[in-house]
Amino acid sequence: MKKIEKFLLVVFFSTVWFTPTMSMAQNATKSKAEVPNNLFVTITFHDVRDDVTSGDSDLYAISTKNLAQYFAWLQQEGWVPIRLQDIWLARQKKKNLPPRSVLLTFDDGALSSYTRVYPLLKQYNYPAVFAIATSWINGNTKDPYEAYGKNNLMNWDQMREMQQSGLVEFASHSDNMHKGILANPQQSMEPAAITRTYLPQLKHYETDEAYQERVIEDLKKSKETLDFELGTQTLAIFWPYGAVTKESEELAVKAGLPLSFSLGSMSTLADAGATYQRALVMGNPTPEMLHTEMLDFLTFANEAYKQRKSFVGFDLAEMASPNNEIFDQKLGQLLDQINALKTNTLVLKAVADENGDGKIDVAYFPNSQLGMRQDLLNRTVWQARTRIDNRVYAELPIDLETKQGLNLAKLTGDMVKNNTSIEGLMIETGDEFACALQNKTWDSACTQKVKRVLQIKEQTKQQAKYYANISNNYQTALKIGLKNKHIDGLKPLIEHSLADSDFLYIEFDPVEHPEIFKAVQKQLEKLNAQQKQHLIFSFTVNPNSSKHEWKHYQQNYQTIKNLAIQKVGINNYQLKAGQQIQENLYRELSNNDSPLTYRNPYKNNTAKRRQ
pTM: 0.90
Model confidence band, residue 439 (pLDDT cutoffs 50, 70, 90): very high
Q: Give span(s): CATH 3.20.20.370, the chain.
A: 3-7+58-181+207-287
Which residues are paired to 171 by β-bridges?
131
Model confidence band, residue 147 (pLDDT cutoffs 50, 70, 90): confident
- Residue-wise pLDDT for 270-322, tens only, equals 877 789 999 899 999 999 888 887 877 776 555 666 678 999 999 999 999 99
| Distance of alpha carbon 310 from alpha carbon 293, whole angstroms | 24
What pLDDT shows up at residue 267? 64
Kindly state the helix (H) or strand (E) to which residue 90 belongs, with its residue range.
helix 84-91
Q: Quick one: what percent of the chain has pLDDT higher than 90?
A: 76
What pLDDT shows up at residue 28? 38
- Characterize the bridge pairing of strands 189-191 and 180-182: antiparallel
Q: Residue 358: which residues within 8 A CB-CB, separation 6 or more?
A: none
Q: Give span(s): CATH 3.20.20.80, the chain.
A: 304-610
Residue 458 pLDDT greater than 70, yes or no: yes
Residue 413 pLDDT greater than 80, yes or no: yes
Does residue 301 or residue 208 have the better pLDDT?
Answer: 208
What pLDDT shows up at residue 31? 43
* Burial (CB count <10 Å: 0-12, 13-18, 19+), residue 411: buried
Fold type of domain 304-610: TIM Barrel (3.20.20)
Range 222-234 average pLDDT: 97
- Residue-wise pLDDT for 255-272, tens only, equals 999 999 998 866 677 877
- Residue-wise pLDDT for 576-595, tens only, equals 999 999 999 999 999 987 77
Q: Residue 144: which region, alpha, beta or left (left: phi > 0; alpha: psi -120 to 50)?
A: alpha
The hierarchical CATH code for the domain 3-7+58-181+207-287 is 3.20.20.370
Mean pLDDT of the chain, nearest integer: 89
Find the range with the poorest average confidence among 31-45, 122-136, 399-413: 31-45
Find the range with the poorest average confidence among 122-136, 192-206, 280-294, 426-440: 280-294
What pLDDT shows up at residue 5? 46
Question: Tell me, what amino acid is at 388?
Answer: I
Range 363-375 average pLDDT: 96
- Residue-wise pLDDT for 48-62, tens only, equals 999 998 788 889 999
Residue 24 pLDDT greater than 80, yes or no: no
* Greatest CA separation for the chain: 77
Whether the CB-CB separation of 223 and 172 falls below 8 Å is answered with yes
- Residue-wise pLDDT for 66-95, tens only, equals 999 999 999 999 999 999 999 999 999 999
Across 146-150, 275-279, 445-449, which has the greatest mean pLDDT? Answer: 445-449
- Residue-wise pLDDT for 525-535, tens only, equals 999 998 999 99
What pLDDT shows up at residue 236? 97
Residue 29 pLDDT greater than 70, yes or no: no
Whether the CB-CB separation of 225 and 138 falls below 8 Å is answered with yes
Exposure letters 111-139 (e unless 16+ CB within 10 A, then b): bbbbebbbebbeeeebbbbbbbbbbbbee
What pLDDT shows up at residue 305? 67
